[in-house]
Chain A
Amino acid sequence: MTAAGGPARLSRRGLLGGGAAAAGVAGAFAAGRLTAPETTPVAGPVASYPFHGERQAGIVTPAQDRLHFVALDVTTDDRDELVALLKAWTEAAARMTNGESAGPVGAVDGPGNVPPDDTGEALDLPPSGLTITFGFGPGLFVDADGKDRFGIADRRPEALEQLPRFSADVLDPARSDGDICIQACADDPQVAVHAIRNLVRIGFGTTAVRWSQLGFGRTSTTSTSQSTPRNLFGFKDGTANIKAEETAALDEHVWVGAEDDPRAGWLAGGSYLVTRRINMTIEVWDRQPLESQEQFVGRTKGSGAPLSGGEEFTEPDFAMSGSNGPIIPTDAHVRVVHPDANDGVRILRRGYNFVDGSNDVGGLDAGLFFIAYLRDPRTHFIPLQRAMSRNDALMEYLRFTGQALFAVPPGVAEGEWVGQALFA
């Protein structure tokens, strides 16, 4: 690679970091940089999102196109080491989301006799809307042996327990759980991978990768400014998702309230994150008649309108009769997971399609990497998943191969580090 030349601390864009001019797009850095109350989505391409703010970016941020998600195990028992890593990660994440290198020197500006503090593959690339979101798993508080390694067991959120196994789960332990997770989303896969790669590198010795997942083609919409994308079944996905603009719904269903959990005050204003790796038996699905596919989902494949008629955003009419029972079948996905059937529960989905090559018999190892942010897994996830695994027609074509739950702390103010309140 050609050295960019110029002073050290150069940003990847060859400009000193920060400044709207650097972004090259009006409306980048919209929403205050210090305490963004919830990043106000901006239509059109956004060059970068600030790392600091009241909430972590990457939750209500308009879903980017690409994902690299990693779950790590903490390999040390030393609290100071862990805190030092969280500080280092915070610094690196703030730099990278701003389009700079992972370390202060950069990929090509250091001395020739040491490995660079940035891996270099994002040199010359813009920030690409990169967001980096951290979460803490149950094992951070109490490890597998029941040990409180870091003196924080008494601050473990009550709902942060290993999720139950649901029927039809074929969970692979090597694709499940983790002490810490990092979600990197960007509009350029190289930028997302660069972020995870460098954070993992910084963590060596303190953390070790447990599993990671690449995703492409967001399968949800988290802003009204976005069109609804399609999942690998070929259907629009996330039509009824909670949107960033619905602040009351976010408060009710996504953000942990100040009074929710007295012993985990550090989590107030944060959220819970559930991931499920959902393999689709694509080959069998593709042989289903169009009408059957639409009956399984409860929507038309073309416009995404509910089978009860209208357009994509028309509310489904579950009472409407068809010639043979309700026009939206009782086991149609849209009915089974709809708030009307689940005590009004809504979640913020932020999943991605994945194709991890092919399996042993030449089938696509593909599906949907489900990511959801929610206020409490006991009310907002477990009942939904249970209803789905019992009643949902789509289950015939799904296999759940991985699962994890994390508590996602609120945002980081300038000068703070991620998880600071937990370790205070």
Chain B
Amino acid sequence: MRIRTTLLASVATLAVVPALAACTENASSDGDKGGDARAVTVTSSDVACELSAVEAPAGTLTFDVTNTGSDVTEFYLLGSDGLRIVGEVENIGPNLTKKLTVNAPEGDYFTACKPGMVGEGIRAKFAVSHSDDEAGVSASDQELIDQAQANYRSYVQDQSDQLLLRTKEFVQLYKDGKDDEARALYPKAREHWERIETVAESFGDLDPKTDAREADVDFAAGEKWTGWHRIEKDLWPQDATGYRVLTPQQRATYADDLLANTTELDRRIHATGKDALTYPIDAIANGSIGLLEEVATGKITGEEEAWSHTDLWDFQANVDGARVAYEGVKPLLATKDAALADELDAKFGALQELLDQHRSGDGFVSYTELSKDEVKALSDAVNALSEPLSRLTPAVTS
């Protein structure tokens, strides 16, 4: 499965992420359009860049950019040095319109249309005047961002290390035929995968080899099924009709393959230099959202662990990962939208309270033990959290 919204890129391919990345959105702002001094219309042709205004009061500005040219265009709001990108909107096809929403304090700026996406662009001066409802953009934001990125990187690396350690243990038990012990370790090892699932999934080649469910595989087209769930079925074959258990030799093949792919994942997560993963703030926020999506689409339905029914471990681990990512950007969110932070705290708490009701020993009950009403209550709590969480990224990057 791919979650496009979590785009982790290595430095080599990463476009410059401005310290205060502006969010681009097409939704209209709350302010009335008529005579809003902060709403600017931009017409970008092949040869010109026309703005309906060249100044605006400080605050949240919107630029409605229409491409009347024949080539793809971009629009930038640049700092007074003409270099710092305050906000940008890209990939505007001919005849299409996109909106840039950006928070701009008082100062001198440049606007630039970039037909053909190359060169300096067609530039003009843009002035932002003082205003009483100027949004605070503090220098300490950068510190909060740096802190969030460092923390999240350590978290991901730590989970990956633990995943590798427990996968090693697990495959050894499985190869040695110690099935009871392997079954006990299975959900605990997978927790570490599920906590960083959105990062792991960003490696499109490793994810299907490692975490594909039987239903995801197109056997008719010759695809092979490997990874955690292949082994899961072999350890919990009681519900499978006509299933033939794997021979020790086959077990070794699948076990070694899983370990090799997990080792490779860990290597990539720890890569340095030009191959190092970067965690832009929007990717961290999107990772939190993506993990909740995983819960809503895969865990709630009980489809993820079709044979072992250990879905609640995965569920909890997805929520753990989502909460850690959210808490990493929370200090930043608190400066921009404290009400959203309060709401998310409450909803994460409510969901956790529900999950805690299904604990058993050092883990959880089997998913098959939940009643329909209990599953629905979990689903309702996931929806209640997911809706406000879906606004996290624009909130922290505004």
Contacts and interface: CB of A to CB of B under 8 A. Distances in A.
Interface of A: 164-170, 281, 283-284, 287-292, 295-296, 300-301, 305-311, 314, 320-324, 327, 331, 360-363, 386, 389-390, 393, 396
A229 B243 CA distance: 46
A27 to B, nearest CB: 35
A162 B333 CA distance: 53
Given A322-B91, A327-B93, A361-B300, A287 B390 contact: yes
Interface in B239-280: none
A310 B117 contact: no
Contact of B96 (A283, A309, A390): A309
Given A291-B26, A309-B67, A390 B218 contact: yes
A320 B93 contact: yes
A393 B4 CA distance: 8
28 contacts: A165-B218, A166-B220, A167-B216, A167-B217, A168-B215, A168-B216, A284-B297, A287-B387, A288-B390, A289-B393, A290-B26, A295-B4, A307-B93, A308-B72, A309-B93, A309-B94, A309-B95, A309-B96, A310-B93, A314-B95, A320-B72, A321-B72, A324-B91, A361-B300, A362-B379, A362-B383, A393-B4, A396-B2
Given A168-B216, A320-B72, A283 B383 contact: yes
A12 to B, nearest CB: 44
Contacts of A167: 215-218, 221, 223
B90 interface: yes
Contacts of B220: 164-166
B27 interface: yes
Interface string B217-249: 111110100000000000000000000000000
Contacts of A305: 93, 95-96
Contact of B375 (A169, A289, A307, A360): A360
A236 B166 CA distance: 48
Question: Which 3 pairs from chain A and chain B are nearest by CB?
Answer: A309-B93, A309-B94, A361-B379
Contacts of A314: 95
Contacts of B128: none
B1 interface: yes
Nearest to B376: A361
B342 interface: no
B24 interface: yes
A217 B218 CA distance: 32
B396 to A, nearest CB: 14
B388 to A, nearest CB: 10
Interface string B1-21: 111110000000001000000
Contacts of B96: 300, 305, 307, 309
A170 B217 CA distance: 12
Contact of A290 (B1, B25, B380): B25
Contacts of B379: 361-363
Interface of B: 1-5, 15, 24-27, 67, 72, 74, 90-91, 93-96, 117, 215-221, 223, 289, 293, 296-297, 300, 303, 372, 375-376, 379-380, 383, 386-387, 390, 393-394
Overall SS of chain A's interface: loop
Contact of A386 (B15, B221, B383): B221
A292 B72 contact: no
A393 B383 CA distance: 22
B215 A296 contact: no
Nearest to A165: B220
A103 B273 CA distance: 79
A349 B5 CA distance: 30
A97 B382 CA distance: 48
A371 to B, nearest CB: 23
Contacts of B1: 396
Nearest to B15: A324
A118 to B, nearest CB: 41
A314 B90 CA distance: 20
A362 B372 CA distance: 11
Given A287-B390, A309-B96, A321 B375 contact: no
Contacts of B74: 323
Given A292-B5, A327-B72, A363-B379, A281 B296 contact: yes
A315 to B, nearest CB: 12
A273 B266 CA distance: 48
Contacts of B386: 283-284, 287
B368 to A, nearest CB: 14
A323 B93 contact: no
Contact of A389 (B91, B95, B218, B393): B218
Contacts of A321: 72, 117
Contacts of A296: 4
A292 B4 contact: yes
Q: Which of A289, A323, A390 has the most chain B CB within a 10 Å cutoff? A: A289
Contacts of B216: 167-168
Contacts of B223: 167
A304 B376 CA distance: 36
A291 B220 CA distance: 35
A132 to B, nearest CB: 34
Nearest to B73: A309
Contacts of A295: 4
A360 B293 CA distance: 18
B91 A169 contact: no
Contacts of A284: 293, 296-297, 386
Contact of B289 (A170, A287, A308, A360): A287
B296 A290 contact: no
Given A166-B220, A289-B390, 16 more contacts: A167-B216, A168-B216, A284-B296, A289-B393, A305-B96, A307-B96, A309-B94, A320-B93, A322-B72, A323-B15, A327-B91, A327-B93, A360-B376, A362-B380, A396-B3, A396-B4
Given A167-B215, A323-B91, A291 B25 contact: yes
A178 B58 CA distance: 65
